[in-house]
């Protein structure tokens, strides 16, 4: 029996000695951000002992996808198991912004407390002064000189005390307002912080005592990026400058500090299984409103940014955010790698992305694109010419759908939307209005008349459109107007003479394509006649 106990104790001792438990500090070194989700790479240095080693990485994001866990191999050890668990006993690590807000709030509360204490001191001093304002005894007479001297004393000190009390009251109001704002921001950040953290347990077998690196990667859902663009041009005979930007955000509860950033157009959250067809059963279709996912995402972010104020050139030079005097533009340090299913942009400089859910812009590409310029006008709606840019040679830029902020001659002119998934060979972008193209649309009264024949009424309308080029260069402009289309048998429309234009009989749209030399003006016109029952009222005639 003694031998059995001795053997059991010896085996237990050997087993205990061969097992090494570690809780190393790990750091995020690289992040690959997808349009929805991100792959995070953590590294740590571990001191392994011969035998079994249990390594626990703590304080990680709560939304780790357990199926995505991957531990990089190493010749110094054999990976036995990897397990992810949520830890409800330990709070998630606070990010740097949260700690800074808490510190600033405590400092503000301290200053507010000191002002309140000083206010009480001055009030007591004022009460003491007022309680001892009697300047003569019961049997003493008061001289005029004494009265003047004491009056001056009280006036001087009371004025000083009242001024100090007013000053303190103003400071207290300012501090109270600051405290309120800090508390609101703190509550917002706390609500976004994970209420619990998670941890990864890794069991390794080492053949000897050795110091070795550990690299672990996993995917989280609380991160992503979307594309936006700056479109810039100075003249209508020069290429378009297209600035491709990624708006990266994350709310994992942990700041990404000085990490190697990679942006991918892929989405690991989407099911990658191949589709299969099911039987197609006919049914009645009930039409309804359908909103695209992109528009829904954009509408959720409208309250966070006022586009025109943000991009006004007089307030801020947007290029300066992506430019470094020694390194150049961020896009010059970005490598584009195209795979079979996605495109990756590898940023060559480290980035900081705080865990506050806000979007941080990263410039990933800056290109000069050839463009064909033309003008477009619909004088019946607006007597203004709009400058259009048709981008060519853009298909190799690996663009994603996104809003574009358009700048012409250094000024913000509006917003557009780039849809690279369009099947067209060109991308059309509106560069805003050009006041140097003068357009007028006039009713030709001498040809406008109404007459009755029996039970019918005839109405004739004629319009003249004048377009003048006040620019110093020739321009091409497309002008559109329209004639009505009848959908009833008792209403007929007869199109009159159309000068230099073409009519689409299905839509009723008339198109003129005009080439105008500098200072040149051209006139076009059209007319139509509408016949309908006399008792019938026709709108817009």
pLDDT tens figures, 96-139: 677 788 888 888 888 888 888 888 888 877 777 777 655 545 44
Distant-in-sequence, close-in-space partners of 111: CB < 8 Å, separation ≥ 6: 175
Specify whether 33 is located in the same domain as 153: no
Specify whether 74 is located in the same domain as 125: no
Specify whether 257 is located in the same domain as 382: yes
- Residue 289 confidence (pLDDT): 40
Specify whether 31 is located in the same domain as 108: no
Please say which residue of 435, 452, 477 terminates a domain: 435
pLDDT digits (tens, 9 = 90+) for 202-257: 999 998 999 999 999 999 998 999 999 998 887 777 888 889 999 999 988 888 99
Specify whether 467 is located in the same domain as 456: yes
Task: Give CA–CA dist 526/524, Å, rounded.
Answer: 7
Asked whether residue 296 is domain-assigned, the answer is no
Asked whether residue 318 is domain-assigned, the answer is yes
Specify whether 326 is located in the same domain as 405: yes
Asked whether residue 279 is domain-assigned, the answer is no
Chain centroid to CA 202 = 38
Asked whether residue 300 is domain-assigned, the answer is no
Task: Give CA–CA dist 99/86, Å, rounded.
Answer: 23
- Residue 96 confidence (pLDDT): 67
Is it the case that residue 462 has pLDDT exceeding 60?
A: yes
Specify whether 501 is located in the same domain as 374: no
pLDDT digits (tens, 9 = 90+) for 357-381: 889 999 888 888 888 888 999 999 9
pLDDT digits (tens, 9 = 90+) for 337-355: 544 446 888 888 898 999 8
pLDDT grade, residue 156 (50/70/90)?
A: confident
- When the pLDDT of each residue in the chain is averaged and rounded to a whole number, the result is 78
Which range of residues forms the domain containing residue 167? Answer: 96-135+144-192
**Sole residue written with tokens 């349009």:** 35
Single pTM value for the model: 0.59
Asked whether residue 298 is domain-assigned, the answer is no
Asked whether residue 302 is domain-assigned, the answer is no
Specify whether 337 is located in the same domain as 250: yes
Specify whether 9 is located in the same domain as 148: no
Task: Give CA–CA dist 343/334, Å, rounded.
Answer: 12
In the chain, pLDDT over 90 holds for what percent of residues?
Answer: 30
| Mean pLDDT of the 502-525 span | 93
Specify whether 328 is located in the same domain as 398: yes
Instruction: Name the residue with higher pLDDT: 454 or 83.
Output: 83
Please say which residue of 409, 435, 461 terminates a domain: 435
Specify whether 402 is located in the same domain as 476: no
Please say which residue of 435, 452, 478 terminates a domain: 435
Task: Give CA–CA dist 255/252, Å, rounded.
Answer: 8
Distance (Å) of CA 232 to CA 229, 313, 364, 497: 10, 12, 16, 42
Asked whether residue 276 is domain-assigned, the answer is no
What is the three-state SS of 17-47?
A: HHEEEECCCCEEEEEEECCCCEEEEEEEEEE
Domain count, the chain: 4
Specify whether 23 is located in the same domain as 131: no
Question: Hey, what are 232's tokens?
Answer: 């810039």
Q: At 146, give phi and psi (nearest 5°).
A: -65, -40
Asked whether residue 387 is domain-assigned, the answer is yes
Instruction: Name the residue with higher pLDDT: 511 or 454.
Output: 511
């Amino acid at each position: 029996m003694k031998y059995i106990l001795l053997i059991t104790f010896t085996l237990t001792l050997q087993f205990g000695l061969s097992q090494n438990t570690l809780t190393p500090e790990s750091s995020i070194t690289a992040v690959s951000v997808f349009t929805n989700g991100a792959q995070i790479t953590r590294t740590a240095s571990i001191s392994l002992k011969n035998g079994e080693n249990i390594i626990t990485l703590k304080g990680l994001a709560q939304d780790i996808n357990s199926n995505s866990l991957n531990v990089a191999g190493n010749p110094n050890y054999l990976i036995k198991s990897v397990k992810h668990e949520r830890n409800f006993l330990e709070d998630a690590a606070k990010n740097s912004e949260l700690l800074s807000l808490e510190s600033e709030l405590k400092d503000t509360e301290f200053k507010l407390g000191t002002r309140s204490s000083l206010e009480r001191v001055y009030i007591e001093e004022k009460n003491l002064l007022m309680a001892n304002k009697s300047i003569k005894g019961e049997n003493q007479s008061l001289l005029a000189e004494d009265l003047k001297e004491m009056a001056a004393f009280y006036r001087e000190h009371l004025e000083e005390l009242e001024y100090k009390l007013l000053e303190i009251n103003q400071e207290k109001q300012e501090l109270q307002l600051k405290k309120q704002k800090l508390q609101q921001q703190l509550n917002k950040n706390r609500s976004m912080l994970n209420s619990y953290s998670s941890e990864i347990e890794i069991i390794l077998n080492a053949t000897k005592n050795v110091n070795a690196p550990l690299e672990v990667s996993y995917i989280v859902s609380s991160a992503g990026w979307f594309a936006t663009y700056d479109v810039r041009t100075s003249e209508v005979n020069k290429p378009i400058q297209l600035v491709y930007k990624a708006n990266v955000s994350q709310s994992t509860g942990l700041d990404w500090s000085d990490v190697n950033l990679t942006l991918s157009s892929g989405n690991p959250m989407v099911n990658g299984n191949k589709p299969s067809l099911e039987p197609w059963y006919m049914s009645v279709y009930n039409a309804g409103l359908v909103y695209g996912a992109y528009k829904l995402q954009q509408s959720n972010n409208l309250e966070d940014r006022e586009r025109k104020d943000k991009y006004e050139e007089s307030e801020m030079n947007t290029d300066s955010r992506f430019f470094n005097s020694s390194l150049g533009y961020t896009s010059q340090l970005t490598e584009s790698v195209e795979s079979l299913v996605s495109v990756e942009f590898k940023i060559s400089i480290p980035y900081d992305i705080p865990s506050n859910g806000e979007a941080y812009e990263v410039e990933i590409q800056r290109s000069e694109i050839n463009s064909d310029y033309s003008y477009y006008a619909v004088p019946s709606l607006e007597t203004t010419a709009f400058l259009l840019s048709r981008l060519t040679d853009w298909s190799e830029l690996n663009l994603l759908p996104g809003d574009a902020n358009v700048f012409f001659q250094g000024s913000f002119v509006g917003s557009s939307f780039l849809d690279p998934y369009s099947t067209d060979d060109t991308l059309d972008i509106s560069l805003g209005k050009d006041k140097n193209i003068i357009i007028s649309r006039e009713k030709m009264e001498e040809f406008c008349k109404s007459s009755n024949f029996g039970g019918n009424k005839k109405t004739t309308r004629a319009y003249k459109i004048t377009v003048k080029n006040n620019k110093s260069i020739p321009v091409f402009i497309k002008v559109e107007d329209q004639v009505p289309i009848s959908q009833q048998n008792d209403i007929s429309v007869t199109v009159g003479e159309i000068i230099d234009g073409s009519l689409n009989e299905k839509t009723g749209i008339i198109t003129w394509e005009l080439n105008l030399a500098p200072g040149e003006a051209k006139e076009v016109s059209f007319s139509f006649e509408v016949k309908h029952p006399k008792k019938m009222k026709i709108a817009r005639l």
